[in-house]
Amino acid sequence: MSFKTILFSIVLAVALVSCKKQSDEQPYTSALNFDFETVKPGSITLTAKPEYAGAIVKIFTHNPDSGGSLLQTLRLDAQGTYKSSINLPSSLKSVFLKSFFIGLPGDIEIPVANNTINYDFFAPAKNTFTRLKNIPAPITHNGIVYKFIGPFNSVGLPTYLENPGDQLSSSFLKAVNDALPENRPVPQFNPHYIQSGVQTDVQITELADVYVTVVHEGAGYRNVLGFYIYDTQNPPTSLSQIDTITIIFPNYSLNGSGGQLLPGMKVKLGRFPAGKSIGWVLIQNGFTNPGGSATILPGNIKFYSNPTFNPEPNQNLKRHMVMLNFPQYNRFAIGFEDLRRDLSSCDNDFNDAVYFISSNPVTAISQANVPLPGAPPADTDGDGIPDIIDEYPNDATKAFNHYQPFKGSYSSIAFEDLWPYLGDYDFNDLVVKFNLKNILNAQNQIVESEYKFIVDHIGASYKNGFGFQLPYAESVVQSVDGIRLTEGIITATSKGLETNQNLATVIVFDNAFKQLFDTITITIKYNTPQSLQSLNQSGLNFFTFVDGNRGREIHLSGKQPTALADLSLLSTGDDITNKQRTLTYRNKDGFPWAILVSHDFNPPTEKTKIWDAYLHFNTWVNTIGTERTDWYENKPGYRNNNLIIYR
């Protein structure tokens, strides 16, 4: 009987028993046109500008603040771009990007379309937002009048920006990034920024035009930035002495991160005479636009440049703003911390809103008591990656990690071991979990691989082995450590690779029973750095070999047998591998003998077809993988838990 007939009988029987959970009842179509892949090869392209060369970016499954897991860390090239292949779970609909460089937008959710990640940090925002035609009316709250410089659109982008804005050079961006890097607490590393007596307000010493220019935003909130004016010789000592706050940016959020600001956008505050000073205020999450009607919320918590006005009772925690003097650029950089500093969630890096102040003439702002930037973050190994972001700060040959499926999680590969004959299709004869970590240098090249494997389940009596083939010649590999060979049926070279292979082949173990539930760590070192592109395009070629018979290899559908496979077994029994081997390891209905799941896979109970245990497996196959791409997950209605093995 064909698999179609078997499945139809099963579905019919289940349908007649109303008290049982039912799998999808669509009739099976031929699976010959389906690849059965839950991990798809794709591409990632990030585009910034040359000024952002060397910027560090992390890609997560979703926001790490909400439990997202790390996929990879990468570094933009000399043109401020990154392009590579990447293997992603087909169920992943978006990724979350965090940047670690001042001026580069971060905290961005990027859709995954056709397994492609494509993002331009500085692409012009789509002009789909309503623009206010008139200056909004002032708002009065607790005796303070909040007034606006001019109109803005429904996401808070001002219409009164200077044209042209300011060009931010790579040297200036690096200087600010070194002074206020992400995740580097100011009280620990640069306490002189916030010591008593430092100046945080702008003091005007001669008639001047004063400007504010956007540099960076690293907040989760849509904050409001404003200023107030006072006589330098008569500063306010209480909030009751501030009568007006002028809003500069109704929504200090970068494009893609809740707003439409871009670094370099510039606003003129006005012309001020000598003897005036400018104080600053940040309204936490103070922008709102319900139904496209944009305004501010002056009742929200506010942080001022004058620490006296800030809410923390601890005097040592009241400073929320730093002002730094960059005399070589005739600019003063200002950085705000937008969370109460007595909260454990506050990172104290003072870069939630970063902008610079300039004046015409450039000599019009007092430099008195304005601190200079501190020393740049340490780079112990000298690879160009600061220790605070370098995952290997003491090794110049290593910098970042790249994971599959992602950090702290496992994929699974499950086998039916009766190939080339049909089995019971419970995919529990051998289940191996794995996590792949490729270690990259500062140029995004692979220098070492650390792969973890766990024999998670054995549902057969055969003593099966397991291995994988790399898309590299043996000469590329320097050494392999961690293999478990106990049966005397595998010959390995001094490097740890299997002998007589045309590509580098690693046998992880040769008897699954002796490795059950153990974590096996395979470490591969390379003679020269390898590109991620070369590995991701082909991927690893996993296989099992059955009951000590080295030639009886079972691979994922579409993969090629190794040089030691017994090719006479192909196209025998129920296998329909074609002569050209463009179709491999399939039966006549198109079903494979191995399946890779980008998840921790719980196999069906003995003799239970996978589609009876996983209730949306049918839909996934019938729609050629366009629906129910997450069929293997443990969601309500996805599983018949009585037919699944848990441990």
Q: Which residue in 323, 324, 325, 353 sits closest to 337, CA to CA?
A: 353
Supply the pLDDT for residue 25. 45
Parallel, antiparallel, or unpaired: how do β-strands 465-469 and 445-458 relate? unpaired
Q: What angle do CA 272, 278, 279 make, to 5 degrees?
A: 165
Per-residue pLDDT reduced to its tens digit, 560-609: 999 999 999 999 999 999 999 999 999 988 999 999 999 999 999 999 99
Architecture of domain 39-120: Sandwich (2.60)
Q: How confident is the model at residue 130 (pLDDT cuts 50, 70, 90)?
A: low
What is the Cα–Cα distance from 595 to 577, expressed in whole angstroms? 17
What is the Cα–Cα distance from 112 to 88, expressed in whole angstroms? 9
Per-residue pLDDT reduced to its tens digit, 37-54: 999 889 999 999 999 999
Parallel, antiparallel, or unpaired: how do β-strands 553-555 and 541-545 relate? antiparallel
- pLDDT reading at 27 higher than 50: no
Per-residue pLDDT reduced to its tens digit, 350-371: 999 999 999 999 999 999 999 9
CA distances for 86 relative to 408, 531, 538, angstroms: 18, 11, 11
- What's the whole-model pTM score? 0.88
Give burial (CB, 10 Å; 0-12/13-18/19+) of 294: buried
- pLDDT reading at 6 higher than 50: no
Q: How confident is the model at residue 1 (pLDDT cuts 50, 70, 90)?
A: very low
Cβ count within 10 A of residue 152: 26
Annotated domain spans of the chain: 39-120, 139-360, 410-601
- pLDDT reading at 57 higher than 60: yes
How many Cα atoms within 13 Å fall on the side-chain side of residue 414? 25
Q: Chain-wide mean pLDDT for the chain?
A: 93
| pLDDT more than 90, % of the chain | 87
Token pair of 5, please?
């007939």
Supply the pLDDT for residue 123. 87
